[in-house]
Structure 1
Amino acid sequence: MASSKNKLAFLSMPAPASYVAGLGRGASGFTTRSDIGPAREGPSAEVIAEAQAKRGEEAEVDPDQFQDPDNEYGLFAGTTYEQDDEEADKIYEQVDENMDARRRARREAREQTELAKRRAERPKIQQQFADLKRGLSVVTDEEWEGIPEVGNLTRKKRRREERSYVVPDSVIVGDRGKGEYENALDARQQESGGFETPAELGQMTNFVEIGQAQSKILTLKLDQISGTTTSSGSATSVDPKGYLTSLNSVVTKSDAEIGDIKRARMLFDSLVKSNPKHGPGWIAAACLEEHAGRMVAARKLIKAGCEQCPKSEDVWLEAARLHNNDDAKVILANAVQHVGQSVKIWMAAADLEHDVKAKKRVLRKALEHIPNSVRLWKETVNLESSHNDARILLSRAVEVIPLSVELWLALARLETPERAKAVLNKARKAVPTSHEIWIAAGRLLEQEATSHPEKSLEGRNKELEAVDKTIEVGVRELRRHQVLLTREQWLKEAERCESEGSPRTCEAIIKATVAMEIEEEDRLDTWVGDAESAEAKGMVGTARSILAYALKVYPDRKSLWRKAADLEKAHGTRESLDAVLSRAVHHCPQAEVLWLMSAKEKWLAGDVPASREVLERAFVANPESEQIWLAAVKLEAENGELGVAKELLVRARTVADTERIWMKSAVFERQQGRISTALDTLAKALVKFPKFAKLYMIQGQIHQSQKDYTSARASFAAGLKACPKEPTLWILASKLEEADGKSIKARALLEKARLVIPANDVLWAEAVGVEERSGGGPQAKAMLARGLQECPTSGLLWSMSIWAEPRPTRKSRSVDALKKSADNPLIICTVARLFWGERKIEKARQWFGRAVATNSDLGDSWGWWLKFERQHGTVEHRTEVINRCVSDEPHHSLVWQSIAKDDKNAGKSAKEILEMVADALQ
């Protein structure tokens, strides 16, 4: 009861003055107005704003004064942001940007003006000294070196001037006594009897003189070494000039190499001890010592190897190598006692001899031990200077070694032709499986047939036929003895015979073997491929023989005769080409191209009557051949027989009656100046051939040349109606309007042409040309860009695009052109001209060669090349270009055709036209 009363009494007691409720749980006390008493009220908001206005300060805006008291995030925070809100924001942003853009130019101009004004008032140090810096470019090296060094002009860290002090006399006297030598003993030591050294003959030791003498001796020795001879005239053992070089040749090994050598020495030592009869181990151990520079140890090891492995020829050869010449002879003499059948030992012994007689003696001794060694016999024969001795040796050699084909052939080469036949017959019986012997027999017969020019042609042909029979029999005999050489091996043997000067043997091998291992349906293609491969290798005789055999099997194949004629034209003579073409037209009388080639070759040889005769025979075989009629007309026209040419054209129109003959008739009349006759011929031709576009072209050009633009316009219009797909007609019609001063109509015609013939680069190029000629540079560039979009691989348009670019960007444009159309000859020619402009002569020449190799029919490429060689090439270069152009006979290109088809240039040669094209190109 008492305790509960005390508890209640405690609760009713007042709290202490510093008590804070809940302090033990982390609560904190606070103070109220009642605790500290009444306070003075501060200034109101209006008073504060008035004071700020007097001081010029802006009144602070409370960001929360416009807030919704019920929404602490803003007035419109609870609404959704819809699409029309986003559009409105974008519109406001765009308006702001436009307003800013309107003022931007003026603002930037104002800023630039202010910046320039500020820089003028207060320029940078760099700008102030800009003129002086530019003046430094004319300062010479001497003036630059003469500029004095700049001293330290600041007052900071100035170098202190060195002070000098007077040295006391005591220091000077002390230093003087350091270099003196005492040559007398101390008197006090003499009086005391210590350190007394008796002097002989009253002389005292002078150590200074001893040092000077040693220095003098060393100087004398160095002088002796530096000179070639001493003062007494004896030569020194040191080469002063090569001393440092000899030091460089001394191999200094690193610690790692020395360690490797020691480990290898231990391994090889273990190897030769564990297996002393293993020769390569002794050789390797000796080579290791040689590498380490211990030649004595190496020779000692290899000597032990010879004792342990007396039957190993490699050990003996290594021992001979490690010794000098005389010791090596002794070593090899011992070697032949143990390995007398080793050819290498005997050959090494012969190589050690420098006298020919000694070598012969060694080799003859070797042949006594090894009579069946072909190598020893060959070396022995090579040492003989006379053919008689060599023949005797070879006769003995083939008796001892009858199976050696090399020795039989060598003996046959040394014998006379009659004896050589007997030798080869013996060789054939001894070695019936050797094809070399049969080939040698054929070559021998060929040599005998061609070595006597006094023989008649019939007798020589009989002997050459014996070559064919010999090779044929040889192939049959080899097959009987199961010697089956492949067809490729026989072709290689034929090529070898041709390269060694035996063309008839080569032909005989081809005749006997070229048809082997081929199916009948594959023969023609295989033979053509073989001929092309041989021609690519330069083996013209082999290719000629293969084609000759193929023509015997397929005499009626026009393509084969054409290949044979092309081969003779490229590598043969006029006589051989004429012979091939004569046989060709005999076997293929319907082949017009062969007749024309034959007639042309006779005409180029200057034999016009023979050419006429060939064409007459061609008329008999092909009476309705358009090409033969036109060739006859050209032959007569270019040889001045204009009346005969006209008569031939009249007959040709009656017999052949083709559109091309009518066209050539009109052109012939125009070239002769008979314009009315030409127009009549064209009118008749158009009735017969209304779809032939060239007739309309010639008719329109004749009217245009006479300034009759109305008739010319009618001709071209009729042609375009009959042949709307002919781009040349559209271009001629456009040029007519342009010549008449109607560029707008020319543009319209070309635009219509591009609709009728889409993606035609020639039409686009002409449209660009019309714009350029009318003075519209930007329009021409835009037209060119449109053309390239429609014809992205056109070399003509890309070439025009390259030249339309400024000079610095032409190279990059040409790279783009090559990526789009890499093998286009026009682009390649353009790149060559770019190199020409950059003075890269060799590159330009290479690219011109690439251009004509890609397409040799473009005459403008040849013209540019000749123009280039005129400026930078030699006479040989120009001659080569002209000859190649005449050989390839180009017919197309813009400038070439305009010159070649001009009536004024009728009858001119390809060389003359090429010269004119080179002059006209710009």
Structure 2
Amino acid sequence: NRSFHPQFSGYAGNLFSSGPYEKDDEEADAVYESVDRKMDERRKQYRERREREELEKFREERPKIQQMFSDLKRKLGTISEDEWSSIPAVGDARNKKQRTPQLEKITPVPDSLFARGLAQGATVNSLDSRQQQYGGINTPFPSGLNTPFPGTSTPGWTTPAGELDMRKIGQARNTLMGMRLSQVSDSVSGQTVVDPKGYLTDLHSMLPQYGGDVADIKKARLLLKSVRETNPKHPPAWIASARLEEVTGKLQIARNIIMKGTEMCPKSEDVWLEAARLQPNDISKAVCASAIVQLPLSVKIWIRAASLETDDKAKKRVYRKALENVPNSVRLWKVAVELEEADDARIMLSRSVECCPHSTELWLALAKLETYQNARKVCSGGGGGISFYTFGIFVILMTTDHYLIISVNSHIRVHVYPFQALLLKKLPVFFLNEINYLFKSQPQYLLSLSKGLSKCPRAIPLWRLLSSLEQKKGTLTKARAVLEKARLKNPNCPELWLASIRLEWNADIKNIAKSLMARALQECPSSGLLWAEAVFIEGRAQRKTKSVDALKKCEHDPHVLLAIARLFWSERKLTKAREWFLRTVKIDQDFGDAWAFFYRFELAHGNEDKQQEVLKRCINAEPRHGQLWQTVSKDIKNWKLKTKELLPIISSKVPVAF
């Protein structure tokens, strides 16, 4: 075959393609390939050296502009300020026509042009008297002929029937806009209620929020319709259908569907709550009233009805009506008592413990509002299997589920934690902080703590408390020994390692603190609490590297994310700091310390809108955890404060300098 045998390149085909490919052939090919690779490596060094030489030669012949002026750029460092200011400015080399381009002139079109265009297409339904007499053009020709040309008096050449007045159109448009704006004005004071800052945001919220395929919406709508028709007594079908229409922007259809659902499923609590959510406030009250008729024992519906009221007196009326129907609901009693003052709250709590004798929370809430002697009577009279003990300045209640500690100093303080907390869980931080100073002046409690640790060696808060007491006494060696013993009995415990590290750091023994941190990270490599502390133990130059290591080990830990946000804050990288604060509160909305740092950051560097946004998001999240957050929120002085009041107080206590 001559096509496989060109004149210069030789035969291009495989002579032995038809033969079998055996193992010997495979070994031979492997040997040839290895020889080819070896030869290519030898040539590679020569080839790369030759390419470098050619590139260097090319750069010498044709250097870059940057290289040509490199020596001059170095000399700029020696130029004084006066010499720099004396350098003339670069002029504009373009000609006058290019420097001053002629702007396009736009002349507004006169109204007469619009009127003329309107007249050309207009028609009339009557003829002029001269047209009726002569039937055409009335002007005679010079020769005396008076007969007009036929057809030249076509209607439309006469004066148009109407004129287009642009001024009146503008006035009508302004009138229409005024009518629309008046619809959103306050009918009482006459002042507009349109928010100029949030106007565009409100308009955007009216658009459909669903960005998916329209075909998917149609399929989902048909499927849900089939479910509703097949099983009309199925509440989730009505709720899903209403939410689908809500997401696609058809709010009125969603309301109609959910109200139909209340008719088909009148005993469904979820359907009534969804209907109350979708309706406006005034209609939602009527929906809740209808729901209460059908479900008078639903606690959620009663609470929803109360939340629709704006006046505290109205809320109290709703809650009292609810307690008449559901007197054994602890949740209703709690929300009702929160609206009352101290004296009225005491009366309501006295009634609540009669209706809910097994509720530990109500008994302790009542004990908070009583004097010490009355609190002892209240606690000793508590039902539900509550046992009453006295331990020095503490009153201890033991129930089937909780340990309840009432510390008595100048006033009553009540603390609750799970029954197994001494063995497995953490004691509340605020409890440890409060009784530290009490133990300091009463050495017998040290003996009591030692006995308690002999019975409960895995109670981490007790070990930390004993070490803290020794530290306050000034016996640093004993405090260190307590924590070492605790770590031996409780290995892999980040809280104990952190306590030891902070003990040495506060004593200004920083080299030992860093050594302990290294050991701690080896024993607890996935502890975000330790990695967050490790970032700020390092010097400023090493903090960024340590934060990268922390992210590799604990990518989604809120303590690490908060530490990185604080690190960017300390470096004045405000945009990045705000992004990391947002990540922290998004990944753990219950972490109160992160909200406190975030709010303090916005107070220092954000505007009022940013501050209000953080405050609003924190109120919706309702955080409950965090060392600093619990210390303040559990203080008896702040027992009635909500998240809105707690966040500014706690944020004022966070450190700004790192």
> How does the TM-score come out when normalised to structure 2?
0.54
Report the alpha carbon displacement of residue 649 of structure 1 after superposing the two structures with TM. Answer: 3.0
Q: Which residue of 2 aligns with 1:624?
A: 328
Q: Which residue of 2 aligns with 1:645?
A: 345
Kept in 2: contact 1:862–1:885 (CA 8 A): yes
Q: Which residue of 2 aligns with 1:592?
A: 299
C-alpha offsets along residues 662-708 of structure 1, whole Å, 9 cap, x if unaligned?
33334444xxxx45655676645845517624527857767655455
C-alpha separation in 2, matches of 1:548 and 1:729: 57
Whether 2:533 is the aligned partner of 1:800: answer yes
C-alpha offsets along residues 57-88 of structure 1, whole Å, 9 cap, x if unaligned?
xxxxxxxxxxxxxxxxxxxxxxxxxxxxxxxx
Q: Which residue of 1 aligns with 2:360?
A: 659
C-alpha offsets along residues 278-335 of structure 1, whole Å, 9 cap, x if unaligned?
xxxxxxxxxxxxxxxxxxxxxxxxxxxxxxxxxxxxxxxxxxxxxxxxxxxxxxxxxx
Kept in 1: contact 2:224–2:240 (CA 8 A): no
Q: Which residue of 1 aligns with 2:177?
A: none
- For residue 920 of structure 1, give the secondary structure of its aligned residue in structure 2: coil
C-alpha offsets along residues 252-285 of structure 1, whole Å, 9 cap, x if unaligned?
xxxxxxxxxxxxxxxxxxxxxxxxxxxxxxxxxx
Q: Which residue of 1 aligns with 2:601?
A: 868
C-alpha offsets along residues 381-409 of structure 1, whole Å, 9 cap, x if unaligned?
xxxx99xxxxxxxxxxxxxxxxxxxxxxx
- For residue 797 of structure 1, give the secondary structure of its aligned residue in structure 2: helix
Q: Which residue of 2 aligns with 1:692?
A: 402
Q: Which residue of 1 aligns with 2:630?
A: 897
In the alignment, residue 664 of structure 1 is paired with which amino acid? A
Report the alpha carbon displacement of residue 514 of structure 1 after superposing the two structures with TM. Answer: 3.5
Q: Rate the CA distance shift 1:802–1:666 in 2: closer, same or farther, 3 A.
A: farther
Kept in 2: contact 1:900–1:913 (CA 8 A): yes
C-alpha separation in 1, matches of 2:484 and 2:259: 57
In the alignment, residue 816 of structure 1 is paired with which amino acid? D
In the alignment, residue 798 of structure 1 is paired with which amino acid? W
C-alpha separation in 1, matches of 2:530 and 2:506: 17
C-alpha separation in 2, matches of 1:743 and 1:558: 60
* Alignment match of 2:513 (pick from 768, 771, 780): 780
Whether 2:611 is the aligned partner of 1:878: answer yes
Q: Which residue of 2 aligns with 1:841?
A: 574
Q: Rate the CA distance shift 1:695–1:874 in 2: closer, same or farther, 3 A.
A: same
Q: Rate the CA distance shift 1:709–1:839 in 2: closer, same or farther, 3 A.
A: same
Q: Rate the CA distance shift 1:142–1:831 in 2: closer, same or farther, 3 A.
A: closer
C-alpha separation in 1, matches of 2:451 and 2:251: 55
Report the alpha carbon displacement of residue 623 of structure 1 after superposing the two structures with TM. Answer: 2.9
Q: Rate the CA distance shift 1:856–1:668 in 2: closer, same or farther, 3 A.
A: farther
C-alpha offsets along residues 488-547 of structure 1, whole Å, 9 cap, x if unaligned?
43987xxxxxxxxxxxxxxxxx9x984557764995555545555555555544554454
C-alpha separation in 2, matches of 1:562 and 1:744: 61
In the alignment, residue 588 of structure 2 is paired with which amino acid? N
Kept in 1: contact 2:349–2:362 (CA 8 A): yes
Kept in 1: contact 2:501–2:517 (CA 8 A): yes
- Between Structure 1 and Structure 2, the one with more helix by share is 1
C-alpha separation in 2, matches of 1:579 and 1:789: 62
C-alpha offsets along residues 20-41 of structure 1, whole Å, 9 cap, x if unaligned?
xxxxxxxxxxxxxxxxxxxxxx
In the alignment, residue 618 of structure 1 is paired with which amino acid? A
Kept in 1: contact 2:234–2:265 (CA 8 A): no
Q: Rate the CA distance shift 1:491–1:811 in 2: closer, same or farther, 3 A.
A: same
Kept in 1: contact 2:228–2:238 (CA 8 A): no
Kept in 2: contact 1:704–1:712 (CA 8 A): no
C-alpha offsets along residues 807-853 of structure 1, whole Å, 9 cap, x if unaligned?
23323333333333333333333332233233333332233233223
Q: What does 1:740-751 align with in structure 2 at a 5 Å threshold? A: 740-744=473-477, 746-747=479-480, 750=483
Report the alpha carbon displacement of residue 920 of structure 1 after superposing the two structures with TM. Answer: 0.5
In the alignment, residue 362 of structure 2 is paired with which amino acid? I
In the alignment, residue 330 of structure 2 is paired with which amino acid? E
Report the alpha carbon displacement of residue 576 of structure 1 after superposing the two structures with TM. Answer: 4.8
Q: Which residue of 1 aligns with 2:590?
A: 857
Q: Compute the RMSD of aligned alpha carbons.
A: 4.7
Kept in 1: contact 2:497–2:520 (CA 8 A): yes
C-alpha separation in 2, matches of 1:650 and 1:719: 35
Q: What does 1:55-94 align with in structure 2 at a 5 Å threshold? A: none
Q: Which residue of 1 aligns with 2:189?
A: none
Q: Which residue of 2 aligns with 1:489?
A: 218
Q: Rate the CA distance shift 1:623–1:811 in 2: closer, same or farther, 3 A.
A: same
C-alpha separation in 2, matches of 1:491 and 1:690: 49
Q: Which residue of 1 aligns with 2:312?
A: 607
- For residue 611 of structure 2, give the secondary structure of its aligned residue in structure 1: helix
C-alpha separation in 2, matches of 1:592 and 1:715: 45
Q: Which residue of 1 aligns with 2:563?
A: 830
Q: Which residue of 1 aligns with 2:23?
A: none
Kept in 1: contact 2:227–2:237 (CA 8 A): no
Q: Which residue of 2 aligns with 1:917?
A: 650
In the alignment, residue 489 of structure 1 is paired with which amino acid? K
Q: What does 1:396-435 align with in structure 2 at a 5 Å threshold? A: none
Report the alpha carbon displacement of residue 921 of structure 1 after superposing the two structures with TM. Answer: 0.3
In the alignment, residue 910 of structure 1 is paired with which amino acid? T
- Structure 1 or 2, whichever has the larger Rg, is 1
Q: Rate the CA distance shift 1:883–1:833 in 2: closer, same or farther, 3 A.
A: same
Kept in 2: contact 1:531–1:544 (CA 8 A): yes
Q: Rate the CA distance shift 1:651–1:588 in 2: closer, same or farther, 3 A.
A: same
Q: Rate the CA distance shift 1:355–1:143 in 2: closer, same or farther, 3 A.
A: closer
Q: Rate the CA distance shift 1:545–1:677 in 2: closer, same or farther, 3 A.
A: same
In the alignment, residue 311 of structure 2 is paired with which amino acid? G
Q: Which residue of 2 aligns with 1:633?
A: 337
In the alignment, residue 591 of structure 2 is paired with which amino acid? L
In the alignment, residue 405 of structure 2 is paired with which amino acid? L
Kept in 1: contact 2:564–2:580 (CA 8 A): yes
Unaligned 5+ runs, structure 1: 1-133, 145-239, 246-353, 362-384, 387-484, 493-509
Q: Which residue of 1 aligns with 2:137?
A: none
In the alignment, residue 628 of structure 1 is paired with which amino acid? L
Report the alpha carbon displacement of residue 894 of structure 1 after superposing the two structures with TM. Answer: 1.4
Q: Rate the CA distance shift 1:781–1:489 in 2: closer, same or farther, 3 A.
A: same
C-alpha separation in 1, matches of 2:452 and 2:268: 41
Kept in 2: contact 1:859–1:890 (CA 8 A): yes
C-alpha separation in 2, matches of 1:749 and 1:582: 62
Report the alpha carbon displacement of residue 778 of structure 1 after superposing the two structures with TM. Answer: 3.2
Kept in 2: contact 1:857–1:888 (CA 8 A): yes
C-alpha separation in 2, matches of 1:724 and 1:858: 29
Matched pairs, number: 431
Report the alpha carbon displacement of residue 632 of structure 1 after superposing the two structures with TM. Answer: 2.9
C-alpha separation in 1, matches of 2:495 and 2:545: 24
In the alignment, residue 892 of structure 1 is paired with which amino acid? H
Report the alpha carbon displacement of residue 881 of structure 1 after superposing the two structures with TM. Answer: 2.1
C-alpha separation in 1, matches of 2:484 and 2:297: 46
- For residue 695 of structure 1, give the secondary structure of its aligned residue in structure 2: strand
Report the alpha carbon displacement of residue 619 of structure 1 after superposing the two structures with TM. Answer: 2.7
C-alpha offsets along residues 877-906 of structure 1, whole Å, 9 cap, x if unaligned?
222222332333322211121112222334
- For residue 339 of structure 2, give the secondary structure of its aligned residue in structure 1: helix
C-alpha separation in 1, matches of 2:353 and 2:444: 26
Kept in 2: contact 1:649–1:665 (CA 8 A): yes
In the alignment, residue 916 of structure 1 is paired with which amino acid? I
Q: Which residue of 2 aligns with 1:463?
A: none
